[in-house]
Amino acid sequence: MTQPIVKILTWADGAVKHATAECYGIDPETKGLVKRVVGQEHLAVLRHGFASVRISNISRVCGRQLLRKSHADYLERSQRYFTITKPNFILPDALRALEQGDGVDQVLYAMVQEHLQHSFDLYEKLRERGILKEDARYIFAQAIETSMVMSGNLQMWWDFFNLRIDGRVQKETCRVAIAIFKEFCKMDNIFKQHPKYEAIYG
């Protein structure tokens, strides 16, 4: 199982308690203020917090899923400028499991590996012929690794976890959301109030 790598680059939640206090006209140092208000689902106060996260060791397919979240900002590794010298392909569990299957499964797995390697070999040949990276990249398999920085206010992240930590979500994308969620729980106990907390930590 390939695991995503996440790293919090920016964390700013100091304004949340002040925005909450401003809204209710009370002292921002009131004990348990934000916890109480978030518990009442007044999540708009979280818009005054912000986080940027670097996400790596994911497939381009997963990247496309992450980019669908509204109210977030992104920058992804550019295949137009980034020089790929040793490709890394991220496969879903169903395809990786073929390697341990019966004879037919193993033949299929070998074909998958051959296809992935062929896409990179062809990419290199195109580049050697002077084809620009932005054009040669069209032949890459979507399993090729990518990385990105994703940023947004904490209410956006709260909603992201609601949407992406779910059994109906593709496993790789769900793993990314869970990995980020766990880092957020380390940064601020408010996220331990999130409805997905019990599902993850039991």
Nearest CA to 181 out of 45, 4, 25 is that of 4
Report CA-CA distances (Å) from 60 to 101, 125, 168.
26, 22, 19
The one catalytic residue among 36, 96, 129, 164 = 164
User: CB-based burial of residue 81 (10 Å sphere; 0-12 exposed, 13-18 middle, 19+ buried)?
Assistant: exposed
Alpha helices in 25-102 (DSSP H): 33-39, 60-66, 93-96
DSSP code for 166: S
Instruction: Judge whether 164 counts as a catalytic residue.
Output: yes
Token code pair at residue 132: 């620009």
Q: Are the C-beta atoms of residues 55 and 66 closer than 8 Å to each other?
A: yes
Catalytic positions, written as ranges? 164
